[in-house]
């Protein structure tokens, strides 16, 4: 039986140039299933990330901390990989490239480094690709089950909830599983399923590929991909009548306006943000408004102290006291 993690990793290699993919194939299986990022930079050694640390990869697929032993990525490797990622049709991915990434089948995302070209309407494209960051999508079903009881009020409605964590600590994974659980319904929430609208600005929550979500986001979920959060929220309210709107990585003034639009329409919000603690959130000017208005009734703080997605605390948005016990 093929390990799911290894299978996902092997699928990713189909998008990487031949010479580099052969090197990455030689990595021991133990590591293949836990790798989170593969970074290819022109003139630098192959770099992989997992478990909050990084390694270089030697010609024979061994991991090392010695950069002089790593297999160097050349221009041809980047060009060949970029052609595979874009399916030899850059124009087909023009809109995504403007945003600095391309989404692959499976919900994986490839970040792009290179020369940014501007036109009259802003960024037009990225050329002369100098680096690629392949982020391997990880779907973890069930991770939200341990917290769902803290997010439902006595009327069986969802509290406005903000998931807070530093980068790569599992907040998007947690949000995605919450969407699935709330959409499908569960014994944990009285078997009720909610209509969920997802504003997937960065294509990470649903990972839409050719119109099909690459992740299980539930049977009552509608998705708007690529829209900014304010426009997406207004469209979702007008057209899809959601009970809950979910959005990833809020922070701008427009995002705050989107949340206010949803609240005015009686819709509950579940969102994520980069941060460490409440004091960190208060220091963000746009978020301070939402905190002072007590819009969010639950704050979920995550870290990686016991692995990615560790629940550090759950705080009540009115009293700002912990309810996690």
Rounded to whole angstroms, the Cα distance separating 320 from 325 reads 15
Of the two residues 162 and 214, the one the predictor is more confident about is: 162
> For residues 228 and 201, is the Cβ–Cβ distance under 8 A?
yes
Residue that the structure tokens 């580099």 belong to: 20
Cα 60 to chain centroid, rounded: 31
Q: Which candidate, 149, 152, 231, 142, places its Cα nearest to that of 194?
A: 152
Tell me whether strands 196-200 and 244-247 are parallel, antiparallel or unpaired: parallel
DSSP string, 207-241: --BTTB-SS---TTEEEEES--HHHHHHHHHHHH-
CB-based contacts of 275: which residues, under 8 Å, 6+ apart?
A: 164, 165, 166, 281, 284
The radius of gyration computed from the CA coordinates of the chain, to the nearest angstrom, equals: 21
216's tokens: 């299980």
Quick one: tokens of 48? 């992989």
Total Cβ atoms within 10 A of residue 190:
9
2 pLDDT higher than 60: no
**Token code pair at residue 248:** 């990833």
The two structure tokens encoding residue 258? 């989107």
Which pLDDT does position 1 carry in this prediction? 37
Q: What is the predicted pLDDT for the residue at 191?
A: 80
**pTM of this prediction?**
0.86
Tokens of 235: 């469209």
- pLDDT of 305 strictly over 60: yes
Which domains, from first to last, does the chain contain? 4-135 (3.30.450), 148-316 (3.40.50.300)
More confident residue, 214 or 195: 195
pLDDT in tens, 252-262: 999 999 999 99
| Residue found under tokens 């427009």 | 254
The lowest-confidence range among 11-15, 31-35, 93-97, 129-133 is 93-97
Q: Are 309 and 173 in contact (CB under 8 A)?
A: yes
Taking a C-beta distance cutoff of 8 angstroms, is the pair 317, 296 a contact?
yes
The model's confidence at residue 3, banded by pLDDT at 50, 70 and 90, is low
What percentage of residues in the chain have a pLDDT greater than 70? 99
Could you tell me if 217 and 206 are in contact, meaning their C-beta atoms sit under 8 angstroms apart? yes
Least confident of 164-173, 216-225, 266-275: 164-173
pLDDT digits (tens, 9 = 90+) for 202-214: 888 998 888 899 9
Q: What is the percentage of the chain residues whose pLDDT exceeds 90?
A: 76
């Amino acid at each position: 039986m093929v390990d799911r993690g290894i299978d996902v990793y092997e699928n990713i290699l189909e998008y990487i140039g031949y010479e580099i993919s052969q090197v990455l194939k030689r990595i021991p299986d133990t590591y293949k299933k836990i790798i989170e990022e593969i970074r290819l930079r022109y003139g630098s050694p192959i770099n992989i990330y997992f478990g909050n640390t990084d390694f270089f990869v030697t010609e024979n697929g061994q991991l090392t901390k010695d950069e002089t032993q790593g297999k160097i990525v050349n221009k041809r490797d980047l060009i060949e990989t970029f052609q595979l990622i874009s399916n030899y049709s850059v124009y087909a991915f023009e809109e995504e490239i403007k945003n600095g990434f391309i989404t692959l089948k499976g919900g994986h995302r490839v970040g792009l480094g290179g020369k940014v070209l501007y036109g009259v309407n802003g960024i037009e494209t990225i050329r002369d690709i100098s680096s690629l960051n392949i982020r391997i999508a990880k779907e973890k079903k069930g991770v939200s089950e341990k917290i769902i009881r803290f997010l439902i009020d006595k009327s069986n409605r969802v509290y406005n909830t903000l998931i807070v964590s530093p980068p790569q600590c599992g907040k998007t994974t947690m949000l995605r599983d919450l969407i699935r659980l709330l959409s499908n319904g569960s014994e944990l929430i009285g078997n009720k399923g909610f209509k969920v609208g997802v504003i997937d600005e960065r294509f990470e929550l649903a990972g839409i590929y050719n119109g099909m979500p690459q992740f299980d986001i539930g049977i009552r979920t509608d998705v708007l991909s690529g829209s900014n959060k304010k426009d997406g929220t207004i469209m979702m309210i007008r057209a899809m009548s959601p009970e809950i709107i979910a959005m990833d990585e809020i922070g701008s003034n427009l995002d705050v306006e989107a949340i206010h639009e949803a609240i005015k329409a009686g819709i509950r919000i579940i969102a994520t943000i980069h941060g460490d603690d409440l004091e960190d959130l208060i220091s963000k000017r746009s978020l301070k408004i939402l905190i002072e208005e007590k819009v969010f009734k639950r704050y979920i703080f995550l870290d990686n102290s016991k692995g990615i997605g560790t629940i550090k605390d759950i705080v009540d948005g009115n009293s700002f006291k912990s309810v996690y016990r």
